[in-house]
Amino acid sequence: MNVAVLGAAGIIAPAIVRDLAESEEVGELLLLDLDGGRAEQVAAEHGGSRARARAVDARGGLAAMLDGVDVLVNSASYRVNLDAMRACLDGGAHYVDLGGLYWLTGDQLELSGEFEAAGLLALLGMGSSPGKTNVMAAKAVAELGGRARRVDVLAAGRDLDPPDGPSYPYSVQTLVDELTMAPMAQRGGEPVALEPLQDGGEVDLPEPIGRAATIYTLHSEVRTFPDSFGCGECSFRLSLAPAVLERVRALTGAGEEAVAAAAEEAVPASARTVSVHRVEAEGEHGDRVTVTAVTRPLEAWGIGGGIISTATPAAAAVRLLARGRIDARGALPPERCVSPDDLFPELERRGCEFDTVSEAVR
C-alpha cells in the first residue's frame, strides 16, 4: 500500500512516518507539506529508503499528488480536513486524519455518501484522542452489552524532562482553539455548550501523572458517541501540565499573528513525555467499565509517549486497512469501523498499555 502523509513537517508526522516506514504493509511513502525542505528532512531522518517529499498546499493541487497513492494520512491542521477529503475523492485514495474538533467533524460526516459511492473510507479522527479513545469507548460499551447511558473521555499528558522555553504537546493553534471555543457536552440527550476553560475537577491517574486538575474542552468524541452508543451523557476533559496551560491561556485573547509567533518560538518537547487516556462508560443500570491507556516513550525511536500516542493509531489504521481488517466504506469515526481486538495489539507493540476494569452494581 502506497501512503501519502500530509503535514509531514509537523509535530506528530515524523513519528507516523517512522511507524509506516517500519510496516511491511507499506510500499512507497510520499511526504507532503507547505515546507518542502522540512518534509525532505523528515523523509531522510524517518522514512528510510521508502520516502520522498514534495511541497504542496492542501487547498490546491493536492489531488494531483495522489496519483498512485492508496491512502492519505492527514496530520496537518484540522482546518484543511475538508480540502484533503475532497482531494482524496478526486484522486481515488482512502483518507485518515487526526480529528476535526467538534463542528468540523459534523461537516466531514456529510461526505460519507460520496466516499461510500467511491468505494473509499474516510476515517475521521484516528490519533490518540480522538482515535484511540473512540476504540477504547467501543471496548467499554461492548462490555456493557452494546449500549451506554454515559460515556466520558479524559486525556492527560506530561513532559518528565521539560525543556527550557515554551513547549507544547501538539499544535499551538489547535490548543488555543480547544481552550477558546465553547466545549460541547451531551446532557439529557441534547448537546449543551459549556463555558470555555470550565473546571472539570481533579482526577486520579496512573503514575507518573497522579492526581491532576482537568478542564472541559471541545472534542469530536462528543459529536459522534451519542449516535454510536446511544448515550444521553457524554463529555471530554483535558489535563495539561500547569505551565503549558498557563502559556496557552495567555494566548487565548491574542490574535492570529501572536499565536503563529508562539508556534515559531516553541521548542520541541523532550523524549520523556507520557500520555494517559481514560474512557468511562456507564450502563443503564449503573454498571461501569473503565478503559485506561498509558503511553510511555518509545526508546528505540527516541520519541516521547505524547507523540507516539497520537501517531501510532493512524499508522496502525493504515496497516489494518491494508490487511482488510478495516473494510467499512464512507466517512466514519473509529468506533464504528475499527475493532479493539485489532487495534490494541498494534498499539501495545508501540509502547501503549491498556487496562480494563468492570464494576457491577451490587
Q: Does any domain span residue 278?
A: yes
Asked if the structure places residue 254 within a domain, the reply is: yes
Contact 222, 133 (CB under 8 A): no
92 and 156 part of one domain: no
> Which residue is it, cell 509517549?
305
221 and 168 in a single domain? The answer is yes
Looking at residue 83, its pLDDT comes to: 97
- Our count of domains for the chain comes to 2
User: Are 19 and 73 found together in one domain?
Assistant: yes
Alpha helices in 47-130 (DSSP H): 62-65, 81-91, 103-109, 112-117
136 and 263 fall within a common domain: yes
Contact between residue 224 and residue 105 where contact means Cβ atoms under 8 Å apart: yes
Residue 119 lies in a domain: no
The whole-angstrom distance between residue 174's C-alpha and the CA centroid of its chain comes to 12
Q: Same domain for 175 and 219?
A: yes
**Domain contains 34:** yes
Q: What's residue 167's pLDDT?
A: 87
List the beta bridge partners of residue 211.
204
Phi (first) and psi of residue 346, to 5 degrees: -60, -45
Residues 6+ apart with CB under 8 A from 261: none
Give the chain's radius of gyration (CA, Å).
19
DSSP string over 124-144: ---BTTTBHHHHHHHHHHHHT
- Same domain for 235 and 162, yes or no, is yes
Crossing angle for the helix pair 242-251 and 172-180, to the nearest 10 degrees = 80
How many residues in the chain?
A: 362
Judge whether 125 lies within some domain. Answer: no
Q: What is the pLDDT of residue 165?
A: 84
In a domain, 273, yes or no: yes
What pLDDT score does 178 carry? 86
For residue range 65-107, list pLDDT tens digits in order: 999 999 999 999 999 999 999 999 999 999 999 999 999 999 9
Q: Which residue has the cell 464494576?
A: 359
The segments of the chain whose pLDDT lies below 70 read: 362
Q: What pLDDT, on the 0 to 100 scale, is given for residue 173? A: 84
**The CATH number of the domain where 353 resides is what?**
3.30.360.10
CB atoms within 10 A of CB 124: 30
3-state DSSP assignment of residue 52:
strand
- Give yes or no: residues 302 and 189 share one domain: yes
- Please say whether the beta carbons of 295 and 274 come within 8 A: yes
Cβ atoms 229, 137 nearer than 8 A: yes
- To the question of pTM greater than 0.85 for the whole model, the response is yes
Instruction: Give me the amino acid identity at 282.
Output: E
**Helices 132-143, 305-322: inter-axial angle, 10-degree rounding:** 70
Q: Based on the domain organization, do 76 and 138 belong to the same domain? A: no
Residue 123 located in a structural domain = no
Per-residue pLDDT, 362: 64
232-254 residue pLDDT tens:
999 999 999 998 889 888 888 77
- Provide the pLDDT for residue 221: 98
- Give which of 70, 253, 272, 244 is closest to 170, Cα–Cα: 244
- What end-to-end distance do the CA atoms of the chain give, in Å? 50
User: Is the domain of 212 the same as that of 139?
Assistant: yes
Which domain covers residue 20, as residue numbers?
3-97
Note whether 242 and 174 are same-domain residues.
yes
171: in domain: yes
CATH number of 51's domain: 3.40.50.720
Q: Interior CA angle at 249 toward 246 and 250, to 5°?
A: 90
Return the sign of the alpha-carbon dihedral for residues 191, 78, 268, 293: positive
Tell me: do 81 and 140 sit in the same domain: no
One domain, residues 192 and 266: yes
